[in-house]
């Protein structure tokens, strides 16, 4: 059954161009007609970056809620339902926007636009500002959609903090073909005098571009590895900055990269002026949830069809930077519990599949490539299998995820221990898996 909000959005998608058109003129015009709701938000944590935005935002939310505060959260894209993009802060924990509230907000924004040229993403960004301005909360966590400088979220005049996470090559058609150019676009969310927190950067040139932008605008800057740190020590997370050293539990989210993401969230909240309690930070790291990012697939229809003992993981990062982080996390799992690793991958044509697959060379036993449902940009599975071969892996195409799972069971059912399967690639693919598994995000 199609929700009321989805009906409204489908109607808009039939009228307006798909994709992105990076500029601020249209969104500024629309927001003015709505009474400039972006100027009536609670303190904003504005997050940009290639990888780690969603996870770090989830850490921010979990830590704030552990302190008894309420937080609105805007993320994109969604996995299963459009409603996932809008979490409204509430005592006891935020909730995804109700269908009635969401549909009404979409109608109001569409009416204010008066049929003028605009992208659906800009309309949905205006919906976010409208919802967040009309529902009280202590904080708004706003994730950039694409880039930074001309992203529709970048009409926020003065956020409490600008948080810029890991930057690598991605969306080159929009942002440039060098990491320095992409970093300059991401750094466009920096506002004069506003604190800037820079997450772990695999490329020093990206870090240097962001630092230069912040210094030019006379912003206080905190850089991971220089001004704040996180290290695993004896099964615990040691966070340190120029003020304190905190002993914390390891984050609930899997992967070593989540340790630096958690540290960036802590530093960002402190830079934004929040007084943090060590015990509440610890609760936040343990309670955090971010569906579809390196997590065990919850028990459902797909996992019940897996062979006995098989581990099934999912992750929605599929650019080269994400591939390296996920491969490292899989290697850490392998050290603790050795199992043969299989990939089931589906990707869209804005990514670099060879760069992603190269991270798994020598680690993955075999790759199955599958179509990406609900996306016109999905790569042909045969072509994707060829790119996995080019990266040094063995690969073949499959009709869908279930067919790939059956192939693993049929051809490798004598492996001891049972395999570990990573379903990876496009969030469209993961959304379809979660939908058919019967475990959509809540």
Residue-wise pLDDT tens digits, 323-373:
998 999 999 999 999 999 999 999 988 778 999 999 999 999 999 999 999
All structural domains of the chain with their residue ranges: 4-287, 295-437
The span from the CA of 429 to the CA of 416, in Å, is: 29
pLDDT of residue 173: 43
pLDDT of residue 219: 98
CA 357 and chain centroid, separation? 20
- Residues whose CB falls within 8 Å of the CB of residue 223, separated by 6 or more in sequence, listed in order: 198, 207, 211
| Beta carbons of 437 and 302 less than 8 angstroms apart | yes
- For domain 4-287, the CATH architecture is 3-Layer(aba) Sandwich (3.40)
Burial 72-89 (b: 16+ CB within 10 A, else e): bbbbbebbbbbbbbbbbb
> Is the CATH number of domain 295-437 3.40.50.300?
no
Query: What is the spatial distance between Cα 278 and Cα 287, in angstroms, rounded to a whole number?
Result: 14
Helical H segments across 67-152, by residue range:
99-113, 120-134
Q: Is 37 helix (H, G, I), strand (E, B) or coil?
A: helix
H or E, element range at 164: strand 161-164
Tell me which long-range contacts 97-104 makes (C-beta under 8 A, separation of at least 24): 97/131, 99/3, 99/4, 99/5, 100/4, 101/131, 102/4, 102/5, 102/127, 102/131, 103/3, 103/4, 103/5, 103/7, 103/8
Q: Is the peptide bond before 331 cis (omega within 30 degrees of 0)?
A: no
Distance CA 80, CA 432 (A): 7
Q: Tell me the pLDDT tens digit for each residue of 29-77.
A: 999 999 999 999 999 999 999 989 999 999 999 999 999 999 999 999 8
**So what's the pLDDT on residue 210?**
97
Rg (CA), the chain: 21
Contact (CB, 8 A) for 230 and 205 = no
Percent of the chain that is helix, strand, coil (3-state, to 5) = 40, 15, 40
Q: Do domains 4-287 and 295-437 have the same CATH topology?
A: no
Per residue of the chain (442 residues), what is the pLDDT tens digit? Answer: 789 999 999 999 998 866 667 789 999 999 999 999 999 999 999 999 998 999 999 999 999 999 999 999 999 989 999 999 999 999 989 999 999 999 999 999 999 999 999 999 999 999 999 999 999 999 999 999 988 999 999 999 999 999 999 998 654 444 545 889 899 999 999 999 999 999 999 889 999 999 999 999 999 999 999 999 999 999 999 999 999 999 999 999 988 999 999 999 999 999 999 999 999 999 999 999 999 889 999 899 988 878 888 999 999 887 888 899 899 999 999 999 999 999 999 998 877 899 999 999 999 999 999 999 988 889 999 999 999 999 999 999 999 999 999 999 988 888 889 999 999 999 999 999 999 999 998 8
Asked if omega into 243 is within 30° of 0 (cis), the reply is: no
Beta bridge partners of 367: 343, 395
Closest CA to 415 of 366, 373, 377: 366
Other CB atoms within 10 Å distance of the CB of residue 317 = 27
């Amino acid at each position: 059954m199609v929700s009321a909000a989805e009906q409204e959005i489908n109607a808009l998608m039939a009228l307006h161009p798909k994709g992105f058109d990076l500029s601020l003129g249209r969104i500024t015009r629309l927001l003015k007609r709505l009474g400039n709701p972006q100027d009536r938000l609670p303190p904003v944590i504005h997050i940009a970056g290639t990888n780690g935005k969603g996870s770090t935002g989830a850490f921010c939310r979990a830590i704030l809620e552990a302190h008894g505060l309420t937080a609105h959260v805007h993320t994109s894209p969604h996995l299963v339902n459009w409603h996932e993009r809008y979490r409204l802060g509430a005592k006891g924990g935020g909730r995804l926007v109700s269908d009635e509230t969401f549909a009404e907000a979409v109608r109001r924004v569409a009416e204010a636009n008066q049929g003028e040229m605009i992208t659906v993403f800009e309309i949905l960004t205006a919906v976010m500002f409208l919802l967040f301005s009309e529902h009280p909360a202590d904080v708004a966590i706003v994730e950039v959609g694409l880039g930074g400088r001309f992203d529709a979220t970048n009409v926020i005049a003065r956020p409490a903090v600008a948080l810029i996470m890991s930057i690598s090559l991605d969306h080159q058609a929009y942002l440039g073909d060098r990491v320095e150019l992409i970093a300059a676009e991401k750094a466009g969310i920096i506002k004069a005098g506003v604190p800037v927190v820079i997450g772990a950067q695999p490329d020093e040139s990206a870090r240097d571009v962001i630092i230069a932008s912040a210094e030019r605008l006379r912003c206080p800057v905190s850089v991971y590895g220089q001004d704040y740190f996180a290290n695993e020590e004896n099964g615990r997370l040691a966070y340190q900055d120029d003020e304190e050293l905190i002993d914390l539990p390891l984050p609930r989210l899997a992967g070593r990269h989540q340790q630096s993401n958690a540290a960036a969230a802590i530093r960002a909240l402190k830079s934004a002026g929040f007084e943090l309690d060590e015990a509440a930070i610890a609760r936040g790291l343990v309670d955090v949830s971010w569906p579809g990012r390196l997590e065990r697939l919850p028990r459902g229809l797909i996992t019940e069809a897996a062979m006995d003992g098989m581990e099934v993981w999912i992750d929605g990062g599929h650019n080269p930077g994400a591939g390296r982080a996920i491969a490292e996390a899989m290697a850490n799992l392998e050290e603790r519990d050795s199992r043969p690793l299989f990939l089931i991958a589906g990707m869209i044509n804005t990514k670099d599949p060879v760069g992603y697959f190269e991270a798994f060379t020598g680690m993955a036993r075999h790759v199955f490539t599958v179509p990406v449902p609900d996306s016109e940009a999905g790569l042909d599975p045969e072509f994707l299998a060829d790119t996995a071969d080019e990266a040094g892996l063995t690969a073949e195409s499959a009709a869908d995820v279930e067919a790939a799972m059956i192939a693993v069971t049929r051809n490798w059912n004598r492996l001891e221990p049972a395999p570990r399967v990573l379903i990876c690639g496009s969030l469209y693919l993961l959304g379809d898996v979660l939908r058919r598994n019967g475990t959509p995000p809540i």
